[in-house]
């Protein structure tokens, strides 16, 4: 038993399919009140559900928004996804999800799949990479996006533009001031601590990570401090944990020299909260305490991590809002109206949030 069709509804109501269509959807034309009711009755007596595929085919648009993330279970992306979902609802669209693990090749596949489904717009979250090993894939991704845009698709990228993508119409970038915020974080941290800094970063070439590292170093320099040493690892908890182990060994070595702990030996900046938590877990596992033996700060201000103790110093990013903005940027007519900044990158702001994990006893 197949789902009933518009034609069946029309027949039951004794009208033409066209009329039925006009009644059941938001057509500009308003059919006669009397006939409209008949159609509506017929429709739900048959349990009629319009075939979105057919509708999409007919008007070549799908009511779909494609969302590309590295990992939907990562709270960073989950938060963004919530925002996207939220904005999608405003636009009465549904969201199609693709997770790529951050690989440009997979992202390209996802874009192609979205294009095949005629998604009205695509939101890409997750750091871009400039690693040489990704060069070709990035180029293909860029080409795929270009084509999608040229065919009328709209895309928004969170953070950096896709490497090599031309600034086509319909291509929006939601800029996140990673560098600037990391600089501000360094400034505040340097004001309260005069020892060494270490950065736990992601793999070289990940823009988000690199920007945050660069900004942090700038802030340090501006405060007259020596640049921080950089430990690179994978951009997740495991990476943070590993780096944490390394640092723990170092800290414990230092303590051995001086006999006993006399306060933090190090201020650690992990380029995202999840890595920071990983690092903190490693330190703890090695018997070190925060902020007593080392202070630590992260980046993102992941909601689920706010109950972590000691409370993690970080930079608050309006993740959900970012998702919303990105999605809205791709809405038809989003850059119309009074907005004179049409086509300019959206600007996001964040906020340095110092908490217990970087408190140095006076």
Partner DNA sequence: CTGTTAGCGCCTTCAA
Partner DNA sequence: TTGAAGGCGCTAACAG
The residue ranges that bind a second copy (CB under 8 A) are 1-3, 47, 49-54, 56-57, 60, 62, 64, 67, 71-75, 78-79, 81-82, 85, 94-99, 112-113, 115-118, 147, 150-152, 237, 277-278, 280-281, 284, 302-305, 307-309, 320
Q: 112 is in the binding site of which of DNA, a second copy, none (Cβ under 5 to 8 A by kind)?
A: a second copy
Q: Within a 10 A sphere around the Cβ of 339, how many other Cβ atoms?
A: 10
Three-class DSSP category at 193: coil
Q: How many residues appear in the chain?
A: 362
Q: 18 is in the binding site of which of a second copy, DNA, none (Cβ under 5 to 8 A by kind)?
A: DNA
Q: 139 is in the binding site of which of DNA, a second copy, none (Cβ under 5 to 8 A by kind)?
A: none
Write down the least CB distance from residue 134 to a second copy, Å: 21
**Widest Cα–Cα separation across the chain:** 94
Nearer CB in complex with a second copy: 117/250: 117
Q: Within a 10 A sphere around the Cβ of 167, how many other Cβ atoms?
A: 10
Write down the least CB distance from residue 274 to a second copy, Å: 8
Q: 205 is in the binding site of which of DNA, a second copy, none (Cβ under 5 to 8 A by kind)?
A: none
Write down the least CB distance from residue 62 to a second copy, Å: 6
What would the 3-class secondary structure string for 27-77 be?
Answer: CCCCCCHHHHHHHHHHHHHHCCCCCHHHHHHHHCCCCEEEEEECCCCCHHH
Nearer CB in complex with a second copy: 1/28: 1
Kind of pairing between the strands at 197-201 and 229-232: parallel
The residue ranges that bind DNA (CB under 7 A) are 2-3, 5-7, 14-19, 21-22, 24-25, 27, 29-32, 34-35, 48, 50-51, 54-55, 57-60
Nearer CB in complex with a second copy: 139/221: 139
In which region does residue 270 sit, left (phi positive, over 0), alpha (psi from -120 to 50) or beta (all else)?
Answer: beta
Write down the least CB distance from residue 171 to DNA, Å: 22
CB burial of residue 54 (10 Å; 0-12, 13-18, 19+): exposed
Q: 24 is in the binding site of which of DNA, a second copy, none (Cβ under 5 to 8 A by kind)?
A: DNA
**Phi and psi torsions of 353, nearest 5°:** -130, 100
Could you tell me if 283 and 264 are in contact, meaning their C-beta atoms sit under 8 angstroms apart? no
Q: 152 is in the binding site of which of DNA, a second copy, none (Cβ under 5 to 8 A by kind)?
A: a second copy
């Amino acid at each position: 038993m197949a789902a009933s069709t518009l034609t069946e509804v029309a027949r039951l109501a004794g009208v033409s399919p066209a009329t039925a269509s006009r009644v059941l959807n938001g057509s500009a034309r308003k059919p006669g009140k009397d006939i409209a009711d008949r159609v509506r009755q017929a429709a739900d007596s048959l349990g009629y559900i319009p075939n979105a595929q057919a509708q999409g085919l007919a008007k070549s648009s799908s009511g779909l928004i494609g969302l590309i993330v590295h990992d939907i279970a990562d709270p960073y992306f989950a938060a963004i996804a919530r925002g996207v979902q939220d904005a999608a609802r405003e636009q009465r669209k549904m969201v199609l999800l693709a997770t790529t693990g951050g690989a440009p090749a997979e992202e390209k596949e996802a874009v192609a799949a979205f294009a095949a489904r005629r998604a009205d717009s695509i939101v890409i979250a997750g750091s871009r990479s400039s690693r040489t090993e990704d060069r070709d894939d990035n180029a293909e991704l860029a080409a795929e996006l270009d084509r999608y845009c040229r065919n009328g698709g709209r895309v928004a990228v969170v953070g950096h533009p896709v490497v090599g993508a031309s600034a086509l119409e319909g291509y929006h970038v939601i800029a996140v001031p990673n560098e600037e915020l990391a600089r501000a974080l360094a400034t505040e941290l340097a004001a309260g601590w005069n020892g060494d800094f270490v950065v736990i970063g992601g793999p070289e070439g990940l823009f988000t990570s690199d920007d945050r590292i660069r900004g942090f170093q700038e802030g340090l320099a501006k405060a007259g401090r020596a640049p921080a040493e950089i430990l690179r690892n994978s951009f997740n908890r495991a990476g943070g944990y590993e780096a944490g182990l390394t640092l723990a060994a170092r800290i414990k070595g230092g303590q051995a020299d001086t006999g006993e702990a006399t306060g933090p030996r190090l201020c650690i900046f992990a380029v995202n909260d999840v890595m920071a938590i990983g690092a903190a877990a490693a330190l703890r596992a090695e018997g070190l305490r925060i902020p007593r033996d080392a202070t630590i700060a992260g980046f993102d201000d992941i909601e689920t991590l706010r109950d972590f103790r000691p409370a993690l110093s970080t930079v608050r990013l309006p993740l959900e809002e970012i998702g919303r903005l990105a999605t809205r940027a791709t809405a038809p007519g989003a850059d119309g109206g009074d907005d004179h900044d049409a086509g300019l990158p959206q600007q996001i702001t964040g906020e340095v949030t110092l908490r217990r994990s970087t408190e140095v006893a006076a």
